[in-house]
Structure 1
Amino acid sequence: MADGNQLFLDMFNDPDAITRYAEGPPRFTPGFEALHRMSAILLAEHMPVDGHLLVLGAGGGLELKAFAAAQPGWRFTGVDPAGPMLDLARVTMGSHADRATLIEGKIDAAPDGPFDGATCLLTLHFLPRDARTQTLREMRRRMKPGAPLVVAHSSFPQDEPARARWLDRYAAYALASGADPAQVEQARAAVGASLALLTPEQDEACLRDAGFDAVDLFYAAFTWRGWTARA
């Protein structure tokens, strides 16, 4: 496993980093809260008011909290490979925690459903292309026909010099948002060196190869992209 990817995985099991986790995503992801708000709206277009949502990469609980507040009738099954991050998710959800079943593991640990919708935010860039497509395929297998999917993760041009320019912008945004300069330098190096980065065109192909249709881009912010699709 590449050192940079290990850096991120170690962070998700480090008690000090977990304590500070909620500060990170908004500083590195433009429109972070709006991303959650838009995702809830897109899911609600096709989910019932008492729907059951599969949340892959649920550690930390930030999207679970946002979705629970937006849709008081939804139930959630959250899956994440980092147990300490799921502990944080329970705390983050507060009074909504009893509406979520949280499972440690990857997509294979998720129940068969079928679910009324699914989401995977800021997670799929940790997987190489074949594993990414297989994960999406397994998500789709657990969804009802026509159920909505929302994904968002790092996705931007990979040819040089465009790649380096976008990584510089990723770092500049984090610095402008108040992130620690040493942390920003470390994150930029790790993202550039070892994450399984794809172009937006390749990411859309992964969704279609996994069997999803009605693939639409709804979010684009520096190095981040988000899509909605239907099972």
Structure 2
Amino acid sequence: MDSIQQDSIVTDIQSAFADPQMVAKYTEGPPRFVPGYNSMLSMAAILLAERAPEDAKVLVLGAGGGLELRAFAQAQPRWNFDGVDPSAAMLDLARQTLGPLASRAQLHQGYIDDAPAGPFDGAACLLTLHFVRSEERRRIASEIRRRLKPGAPFVAAHFSIPDGDDERPIWLSRYSAYLAASGVEPDKAVAARKAVDGQLSILAPEQDELILRQAGFSGASLFYTGFTFRGWVAYA
């Protein structure tokens, strides 16, 4: 995918996350359409807590909607958060999702360069990095690491599909079938598969792990696999 096409896709995604109807329904999506989503959030909180202190300050990139912020805040009552997201509408939704927990989260509109310098005790970036191409993904990972204390955990999860002419179509078909099993109309499930295949920057798991190492993280370990989604924990 060339850079012009990728930039156009990113613009389309930004427009989608500013659409009031899309934003209003967003929190219904991940738990329904990402296999094991709530369990993944619980595991992410556990992995962060392994090394983060009880009064940790945690960076969450792609925090719009607030689902992971709420899960982490409920799991650790003394943690505080800086959440970053480019969409003002999605940050408003995050405040609504957090409810009385919102006082523990500082929300920033923008991208990784707009995140505070830290240093943070941990960081998470969930269902976000598949929106950017590999070069930018590597830079984002490096900027996250730069904001972390030495040894602090970083948890990431996103679309990641084995490469190859044979495997990729099979996994995309399984994703479409999962959507249909979750109640999506069959034609919309097929359309979703085409959109994911054509509009997202999906890497193979080996490439995702390489990016973490190139960004300076160590000990990258796979902790979650849900059909076309994978999640890793790594350390600054």
* TM-score interval (norm. to shorter): over 0.9
Q: Which amino acid aligns with 1:179?
A: V
Query: Is the Cα–Cα contact under 8 Å of residues 7 and 190 in structure 1 kept in the other structure?
Result: no
Question: Following superposition of structure 1 onto structure 2, how do residues 39-78 of structure 1 map, counting pairs within 5 Å?
Answer: 39-78=44-83
Structure 1 spans left out of the alignment, 5+ residues:
none
- Whole-Å separation in 2 of the counterparts to 1:181 and 1:53: 39
Of 136, 141, 151, which aligns to 1:136?
Answer: 141
Question: Following superposition of structure 1 onto structure 2, how do residues 186-225 of structure 1 map, counting pairs within 5 Å?
Answer: 186-225=191-230
Query: Is the Cα–Cα contact under 8 Å of residues 223 and 232 in structure 2 kept in the other structure?
Result: yes
Q: Which amino acid aligns with 2:131?
A: F
Query: Is the Cα–Cα contact under 8 Å of residues 123 and 144 in structure 2 kept in the other structure?
Result: yes
- Whole-Å separation in 2 of the counterparts to 1:86 and 1:115: 20
Question: Following superposition of structure 1 onto structure 2, how do residues 21-40 of structure 1 map, counting pairs within 5 Å?
Answer: 21-40=26-45
1:152 aligns with 2:157: yes
TM-score (norm 2): 0.94
Of 159, 164, 175, which aligns to 2:180?
Answer: 175
- In the superposition, relative to structure 1, how do residues 149 and 78 fare at CA in structure 2: closer, same or farther (>3 Å)? same
- Whole-Å separation in 2 of the counterparts to 1:109 and 1:5: 18
Alignment correspondent of 1:13: 18
Report the count of equivalent residues.
231
Query: Is the Cα–Cα contact under 8 Å of residues 85 and 109 in structure 2 kept in the other structure?
Result: yes
Q: CA RMSD in A?
A: 1.3
Alignment correspondent of 1:229: 234
Percentage identity across aligned positions?
55
- Whole-Å separation in 1 of the counterparts to 2:182 and 2:27: 14
TM-score (norm 1): 0.96
1:89-138 Cα deviation digits (max 9, x unpaired): 00000110010000010100001000000000000111111100100000
Alignment correspondent of 2:129: 124
- Range with greater deviation from structure 2 (23-32 or 100-109): 23-32
Query: Is the Cα–Cα contact under 8 Å of residues 10 and 132 in structure 2 kept in the other structure?
Result: no
Q: Which amino acid aligns with 1:21?
A: Y
Structure of higher RCO (CA pairs closer than 8 Å, 6+ residues apart): 1
- Whole-Å separation in 2 of the counterparts to 1:96 and 1:7: 31
Shift of 1:185: 3.0
- Whole-Å separation in 1 of the counterparts to 2:78 and 2:10: 37
- Whole-Å separation in 1 of the counterparts to 2:40 and 2:61: 16
